[in-house]
Each structure stands twice: as structure tokens, then as C-alpha cells.
Amino acid sequence: MKRDLHVISALILLANIFKRSPIYNLFYLLAMVVASQRLWRDFPRFFAISVLVGFLAEVAGTHMCTPFGCYYYENLKPQLFGVAVFVPLAWAIFGFVSYLTARYFFNSKTGRILFASLLMVILDLSIDPIMTSWRAWVWKTTTAVNWFGIPWTNYLGWFIVSLTFFYLYERISKGEVGEGLLKLAPSIYLLEMFTFMIYAPRSVKAPTEIAFLISLAVILPLYLQR
């Protein structure tokens, strides 16, 4: 078990070092494979649910402007049905980190589902400004209330989609996760937020810095309390 944790830690550290490269996804996939062997045996079920729900939500978003608002993918390729194939995998990766972090702090299903969904939204406070600055996707929806140009509807959509696949997973799974993996999760989450801030283009440094501070304000009190 300890060896698995060391391997997972090393792979996720490498993923964050190479965050600007597609290798990021490969390192995370390898880390999740290792985790699914003994530490989180029904993770493949979580992966399938998060990828499927994430993909369907993105198809609905790009074709019907629901639930995020109206947008389209531009520089992020390859694409399937107008959705960048990387994106459903990203739902699984960030869901993996957020769910484990929430699971560490909350024993009740309701508490961890809601908190994991909140953590997903906080992640996207960094992700969306960065990706739109690269024109990975382009927003057509504009709202008076926004996050550095990102419509507020996007964050409501992120919460709803995250809530959906976390809820579905909890409904059909035993959810047994090794304690060592849970203890590691808050550090992984904060590492993700930190490297988003470090690697963000100068034009979007501000939202990533604020998002990192929000993540610290949310997680550190719970961590110290526990």
C-alpha cells in the first residue's frame, strides 16, 4: 500500500510539473490505474461515470447552451461531436482529486458530494480563465455578473454536472477508499491549484491567484480541525 502511495505521489507530481503538456493526462491516468489496483478498487466505475456524464454535458453545452451557457471549442483538438476529447478526461481527473479530498473531510454522503462539487467549481475558477486565454474554447454567453469575463452560468453548470456524477457514483458504489489515499488528497488538490497559479499566463494571473487563496481558505480550516 505504501509503495502504491509513493508511486501515485510521484506520478501526480510529475503531472503537475508537465501541466502544460498532454503528458499531464498520461501521468494522471497512470496514477489512477495504480490507485484502482488496491486503494480504490471501484475507481473504474467512478472514471466511467465521470467521463460519460462530463462528455454528455459538454455535448449539450456546445449544441444547446445547457447547462454552462453558449460556447464552442476552437484551439483544443482533436474533437468529437464538437467536444475536445481531452475534456471528458479532465472531468475524471479533477473529479478524482475533488472527490477524494471531500471524502477525507466528510463521512456523510451528502456532505462529501456537495463539498466535492464545490471544490470542482473552485478548480474551474482557475481552469476557465486560463483555457479561454488560449482560446481552447470561446464563450458566446455574456452575463453582467461574471468571473473575469466567464459567465456565472458556467460555474452553476460545473456544480450541477459535478453533483450529478458524484451522486451517481455514490448511489451505485460501495465507495471503499484506502485511508492513505484520502490523507494524500488535500495536498494533491492544493498542488493543482498552486500549479494553475504558477503556470497561468500573465493576463490571467489574478483569477488564478484569487482561486488559490479561496482553496486555502476552504481547505486549511477543515484540515486543521481534523
% of the chain exceeding 70 in pLDDT:
100
Q: Give the per-residue pLDDT at 226.
A: 82
Whether the pLDDT of residue 120 is over 90: the answer is yes
Residue owning grid cell 488496491: 38
| Residue 91 half-sphere exposure toward CB, CA atoms < 13 A | 28
Cross-strand partners of 83: 80
Residue (of 147, 169, 194, 195) closest to 103 by Cα position: 169
| Residue 144, SS3 per DSSP | coil
- What is the rounded CA–CA span in Å between residue 39 and residue 123? 24
Residue owning grid cell 488535500: 186
Whether the pLDDT of residue 99 is over 90: the answer is yes
Q: Give the per-residue pLDDT at 68.
A: 98
Report pLDDT digits (tens) over 144-192.
Answer: 999 999 999 999 999 999 999 999 999 999 778 999 999 999 999 999 9
Q: Give the per-residue pLDDT at 201.
A: 97
- What is the rounded CA–CA span in Å between residue 94 and residue 120? 7
**pLDDT, average across residues 1-12:** 95
| Residue 95, SS3 per DSSP | helix
- What is the rounded CA–CA span in Å between residue 19 and residue 27? 10
Name the CA dihedral angle for 182, 12, 24, 141, rounded to a multiple of 10 degrees. Answer: 40
Grid coordinates representing 45? 466505475
Name the CA dihedral angle for 97, 17, 11, 49, rounded to a multiple of 10 degrees. Answer: 30
| Residue 9, SS3 per DSSP | helix
Give the DSSP H or E segment for 147: strand 146-147
Report pLDDT digits (tens) over 182-224.
Answer: 999 999 999 999 999 999 999 999 999 999 999 999 999 999 9
Q: Write phi, then psi, for 39 (nearest 5 degrees).
A: -85, -30
Contact between 10 and 4 (Cβ < 8 Å): no
| Beta strand segments in 35-134, E | 71-73, 79-80, 83-84
pTM of the entire structure?
0.97
Report pLDDT digits (tens) over 14-23.
Answer: 999 999 999 9
CA geometry: angle 119, 130, 34, nearest 5 deg: 55
- What is the rounded CA–CA span in Å between residue 96 and residue 103? 11
